């Protein structure tokens, strides 16, 4: 039989002082028990009375099969201090094992002070990350017992995910297992997706999540009612919390998730999409009768693509800085009047495009000169032309913005970040989406988000189910790439440990 060390003798003496008067009193008058009046003892196997042994008899300090009045580890009898199967009058493992020097998982006695027990959380301590004495380098923080910083971020309809050290962490709604866990139903703090490693990019929709790995493979999890996991599983086969490999994709350069579908830019600038095709999101031209695809389909109308933007429609930026859109087009979000578009078409009048963002019924583009252009729905001023009303066709510039490097489009609001890291938002603010600290119906003028002056990247995703469901997140450079979020928070998607809607950015507390 093997035994595990459960703590020094001094820990046992502390236990002794906590016991009842029956064989558990002060050590000095313990009689034949452990105490100052114990006779000299040997150490050996088959020890006799008063000895320290393994198969100790009555009155001994033993390890196994200790009898009445003994200090034992296993099968302790009446009046003993034991670890397992303690009987009447005993102190058992469920009461004293931590005080005996054994710390619970992910905790440690890092100050070597027995009086405060296992005081350190090894999952979050920057000075003791993973184990005592393992301090995180400057600029990094401890999460799940490892040092690092967030390197990528994606916000979905009601959940958010980030990458840290190649691992994916998600929080918010989990009704479709999009957090990579079968439970809980929702989490306002980050949960690690255990079966994904070496992730370099994450893409989030309302009910599923995909991650691109350093190898070029893509893995997805969550809802599969339209084949959006891309793994060849039967459409409608149910949710999957365990990530599945997207079939045939081994050369992905980027991945994006839209409304029930996802797409990847592949080697050579090709684009493949999978999932729902109800609004011709798969854009393969001849597949107008196909409502969904559980495996990737290449889009023949797209070539030399460098980046993608997806919502209910899709847009692609090419290597010559043009932008093509396809799919849903009810408000001119594809830049033309035809709806829906089963093949990608070039948006007229827009050139020099370096990045695009797709919202509900509208599209934004960042141009090489640092300006932002918009086309499509403008009911809440989300196209930023200081007006509210009809759709904006043809595309036009958003006034008041310059030197912009990134944009994000939501339901009825949008945000942009300039080269210095300052964030501007405009459109609807009924759920705090503008980040100004005030909930307002709408603001058609781009407005500074006061506390976000050092942002690396912005993310946000539109929701087709409710115009009120919207939140934003940002990576802050000077805060060691910590994640800050704001807006709608019914399911904890803001990540601050609450479900309170936030009108100003707050730190996602459980992320680096």
pLDDT for the residue numbered 139? 60
Between 460 and 433, the higher pLDDT residue: 433
Compute the average pLDDT of residues 183-203.
93
pLDDT for the residue numbered 490? 93
Same domain for 70 and 194: no
Q: Does the residue 203 lie in any domain?
A: yes
Structure tokens at 207: 């009910």
- Cα–Cα distances in angstroms (integers) from residue 18 to residues 27, 80, 101, 388, in the given order: 11, 12, 15, 73
Mind listing the pLDDT tens digit for each residue in 485-503? Answer: 999 999 999 999 999 999 9
- Cα–Cα distances in angstroms (integers) from residue 328 to residues 265, 331, 497, 503, in the given order: 20, 9, 36, 31
Integer Cα distance of 272 and 267 in angstroms: 11
Same domain for 308 and 183: yes
Between 386 and 63, the higher pLDDT residue: 386
Domain count, the chain: 2
- Cα–Cα distances in angstroms (integers) from residue 464 to residues 52, 253, 270, 411, in the given order: 72, 28, 28, 8
Compute the average pLDDT of residues 422-446.
90
Quick one: which of 156, 198, 192, 162 has its CA closest to 175?
156
- Residues 102-117: b if buried by 16+ CB within 10 A, e if exposed: bbeeebbbbeeeeeee
Beta pairing partners, 376: 362, 392
Integer Cα distance of 127 and 140 in angstroms: 11
Same domain for 62 and 198: no
Same domain for 85 and 173: no
**Phi, psi torsion values for 419, nearest 5 degrees:** -65, -25
Same domain for 276 and 391: yes
- What is the rounded (10 degree) CA torsion for 464, 359, 426, 429? 10
Same domain for 357 and 277: yes
CATH assignment at residue 431: 2.130.10.30
Q: Does the residue 132 lie in any domain?
A: no
Q: Which domain holds residue 49?
A: 1-102
Same domain for 164 and 78: no
Compute the average pLDDT of residues 324-333.
95
Integer Cα distance of 406 and 271 in angstroms: 22
Q: Which range has the worst mean pLDDT, 251-260, 346-355, 459-468, 476-485?
A: 459-468
Q: Is the dihedral of CA 379, 380, 383, 386 positive or negative?
A: positive
Q: Does the residue 398 lie in any domain?
A: yes
Q: Does the residue 31 lie in any domain?
A: yes
Mind listing the pLDDT tens digit for each residue in 100-128? Answer: 458 998 999 999 998 888 999 998 888 99
Q: Does the residue 385 lie in any domain?
A: yes
């Amino acid at each position: 039989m093997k035994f595990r060390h459960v703590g020094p003798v001094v820990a046992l003496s502390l236990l002794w002082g906590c016991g009842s008067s029956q064989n558990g009193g002060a050590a000095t008058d313990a009689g034949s028990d452990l105490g100052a009046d114990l006779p000299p003892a040997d150490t050996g196997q088959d020890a006799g009375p008063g000895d320290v042994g393994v198969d100790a008899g009555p009155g001994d300090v033993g390890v196994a099969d200790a009898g009445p009045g003994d200090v034992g580890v296993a099968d302790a009898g009446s009046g003993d201090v034991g670890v397992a199967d303690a009987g009447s009058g005993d102190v058992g493992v469920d009461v004293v094992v931590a005080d005996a020097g054994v710390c619970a998982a992910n905790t440690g006695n890092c100050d070597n002070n027995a009086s405060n027990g296992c005081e350190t959380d090894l999952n979050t301590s920057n000075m003791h990350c993973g184990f005592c004495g393992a301090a995180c380098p400057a600029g990094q923080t401890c999460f799940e017992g490892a040092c690092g910083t967030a390197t990528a971020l994606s916000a979905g309809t009601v959940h958010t995910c980030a990458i840290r050290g190649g691992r994916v962490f998600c929080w918010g709604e989990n009704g479709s297992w999009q957090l990579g866990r079968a439970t809980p139903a929702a989490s306002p703090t980050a949960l690690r997706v255990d079966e994904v490693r070496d992730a370099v990019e994450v893409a989030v929709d309302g009910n599923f999540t995909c991650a691109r790995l350093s190898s070029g493979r893509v893995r997805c999890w969550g809802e599969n009612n339209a084949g959006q996991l891309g793994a060849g599983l039967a459409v409608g086969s149910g949710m999957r919390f365990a990530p599945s490999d997207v079939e045939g994709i081994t050369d992905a350069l980027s991945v994006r998730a839209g409304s029930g579908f996802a797409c990847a830019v592949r080697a050579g600038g090709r684009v493949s999409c999978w999932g729902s095709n109800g609004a011709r999101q798969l854009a393969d031209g001849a597949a107008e009768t196909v409502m969904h695809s559980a495996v990737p389909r290449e889009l023949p109308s797209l070539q030399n693509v460098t980046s993608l933007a997806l919502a209910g429609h899709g847009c692609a930026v090419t290597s010559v800085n043009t932008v093509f859109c396809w799919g849903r087009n009810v408000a001119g979000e594809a830049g033309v009047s035809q709806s829906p578009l089963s093949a990608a078409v070039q948006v007229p009048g827009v050139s020099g495009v370096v990045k695009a963002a797709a919202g509900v019924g509208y599209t934004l583009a960042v141009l090489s000169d640092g300006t932002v252009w918009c086309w499509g729905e403008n009911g809440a001023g989300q196209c930023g032309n200081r007006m509210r009303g009809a759709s904006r066709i043809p595309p036009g510039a958003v006034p008041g913005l310059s030197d912009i490097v990134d944009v994000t489009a939501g339901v009825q609001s949008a945000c942009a970040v300039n080269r210095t890291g300052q964030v501007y938002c405009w459109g609807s603010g009924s759920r705090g989406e503008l980040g100004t600290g005030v909930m307002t119906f709408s603001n058609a003028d781009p407005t500074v988000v006061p506390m976000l002056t050092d942002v690396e990247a912005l993310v946000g995703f539109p929701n087709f189910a409710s115009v009120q469901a919207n939140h934003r997140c940002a990576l802050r450079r000077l805060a060691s790439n910590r994640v800050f979020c704001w807006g709608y928070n019914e399911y904890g998607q803001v990540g601050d440990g609450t479900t309170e809607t936030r009108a100003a950015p707050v730190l996602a507390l459980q992320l680096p």
